[in-house]
Amino acid sequence: MDKTEFYLKLKTISPRRREILSELLKGTPDTEIKDKYEISLATVRKHVQEISEYFDIKSQPGRRRDRRLELRQLFAQHGMGIEPTPNLLSDTLTPEKISPREEASKNTKDIEPTLSGIIPLDSPFYVRRKGVDDVCEEELAKADTQNPVMLKLVGTKSMGKSSLLVRLRQFAEDNGHLVACVDLSSDILDREAFQDLEKFLQQFASVVVQKFSDCLGGEHLDNNLKKLDEQWQSKLAIGAKCTNYLESIFKKLNERESDKPKTLLIDGLDFIEKNQLKDQSKDKLEMEFFSLLKSWYETKMKKVRSDADIVWPSMLLAYSLEPQPDYNSSFAASFYNIGINIELRQFNLNEILSLAKTAFHLDWNEVDAKILMNFVGGYPRLVNWILYKVSQNQISLNDLDKLLDDANSKNEPVMKFLSDILREIRADKQLYEWMRNILKSNSKLGDKTMSKQKLIKAGIIKEKSLDEIAISCNLYRIFFERNLD
């Protein structure tokens, strides 16, 4: 980890983890941290694990790591001294030797935003959206052991679903929830599992249990993993096997922590569609899993009998709406109308103006923000990317179209972002032809085809009236005019 990345992570770590980190760097024993902050030993260990991973000190198969020692070594490597106080961002971390160039690099306006990945907690690049962040937090705050909620975070690529999810995880933990986070796209399942429903559900159940075990220090639920194979030997339907096994675990978890709400976060649900077999039964795994989630919501997360206790956790689910072939029709039919849908919208004018001033130190007014919105809409990552270019004097507001000039765009991250969208459109013949017609017909297409709905959901086009549509922003219009044919 270079010094620029180190300083950014240090600046954007959450307040609670900043406090725990200070204690770890001072060598405070876990028991004292537990007593000081009135948390369990399991929570202390979980903070140690997550802080270490935040600073890229991650577990490796077959290797036992001393996370506390490696954290201290990392801070020493970057010339940071520690004083006995919990405020890491004041004088407690004192750079021994930092050049003027290195000091300037700590300024967020000098750090180029990426077009993918999670925005760190407390990062100035993250903007809270009214009607999104606040609604999610209100629903989570109302959830308790007998009133779990299901929230579905829906949006197109680079709209900030995963970044919102990590903030909701932090919010839930700060409000006393036991939180397990499962990412289908990265840390759970081997690719073969996406071709086999039984293998998928077995691995999914195993990971859910392991994640909740981690919340308890890994010592209370691990022994139940041995029962997973036994459960799968029964003659019940595959979904029933998964449901019964998880319910037995949730009951045990409730017995152990009866007063704490539980929350399960599932990211990367759209990864199922991208990785399942493309044959006549290609929708089976997707349909079965989403139908199972729906049944859990309707029969396990609601009080269906007055004498029945609810043991299932709240669920936060994140998935993308992209212009892919065979666009999630089964998904929408079986799943969209349950729980609470939180659609991640684009930034509005005030949010862009605030971001320009606070994160990039630009002396902008509403006219400047409107020029940017006309070019790129309100897509969070694209807005951040252009604000960075403007703040570094690499482009002016009057020359934004030059960002797509062939000579200047070969190595730009935005070209990969746009090329991925173009590839998905070309993969669907009907979608491709419809997009060409939009560009040729000056947007006078008023039919209600599936192609139209796909492109609207993906944010590529927008409805101007009942019978007129338009490309959603100039960036897309210029790119597709140059590259679609």
Mean pLDDT, residues 80-109? 39
**85 within 8 A of 92, measured Cβ to Cβ:** yes
For residue 290, what are its two tokens?
A: 């989403």
Can you tell me the distance from the alpha carbon of 285 to that of 291, in angstroms, rounded to the nearest whole number? 10
pLDDT in tens, 409-453: 555 677 777 888 888 888 888 888 888 888 877 555 545 466 677
Which helix (H) or strand (E) segment holds residue 37: the answer is helix 30-37
Looking at residue 119, what is its pLDDT? 82
Which helix (H) or strand (E) segment holds residue 199: the answer is helix 197-215
Name the least confident of 42-46, 188-192, 434-438.
188-192
DSSP state of 81: E
User: For the chain, what percentages of helix, strand and coil (3-state, to nearest 5) are there?
Assistant: 55, 10, 35
Can you tell me the distance from the alpha carbon of 321 to that of 317, in angstroms, rounded to the nearest whole number? 13
- Dihedral sign, CA of 432, 437, 442, 447? negative
Can you tell me the distance from the alpha carbon of 62 to that of 434, in angstroms, rounded to the nearest whole number? 53
Q: Which residues pair with 462 in a beta bridge?
A: 470
**204 within 8 A of 283, measured Cβ to Cβ:** no
Position 154, amino acid: V
Flag whether pLDDT at 97 surpasses 60.
no
Q: The domain at 133-343 falls in which architecture?
A: 3-Layer(aba) Sandwich (3.40)
pLDDT band for position 237 (50/70/90)? Answer: confident
**212 within 8 A of 315, measured Cβ to Cβ:** no
Mean pLDDT, residues 168-175? 90
Shortest CA distance to 339 belongs to which of 371, 317, 320? 317
Flag whether pLDDT at 92 surpasses 50.
no
For residue 94, what are its two tokens?
A: 């004192």
Domain ranges of the chain: 3-106, 133-343, 405-483
Flag whether pLDDT at 84 surpasses 90.
no
Looking at residue 105, what is its pLDDT? 35
Quickly tell me which residue has 């201290």 as its tokens. Answer: 72
Distances in Å between the Cα of 315 and the Cα atoms of 177, 178, 246, 261 are: 12, 12, 14, 11
Looking at residue 158, what is its pLDDT? 74
Flag whether pLDDT at 373 surpasses 80.
yes
Residues 6+ apart with CB under 8 A from 188: 182, 203, 204, 207
Would you call 279 exposed, middle or buried from its count of C-beta atoms within 10 A (0-12, 13-18, 19+)?
exposed
Can you tell me the distance from the alpha carbon of 105 to that of 352, in angstroms, rounded to the nearest whole number? 23
Calculate Rg over the CA atoms of the chain: 24
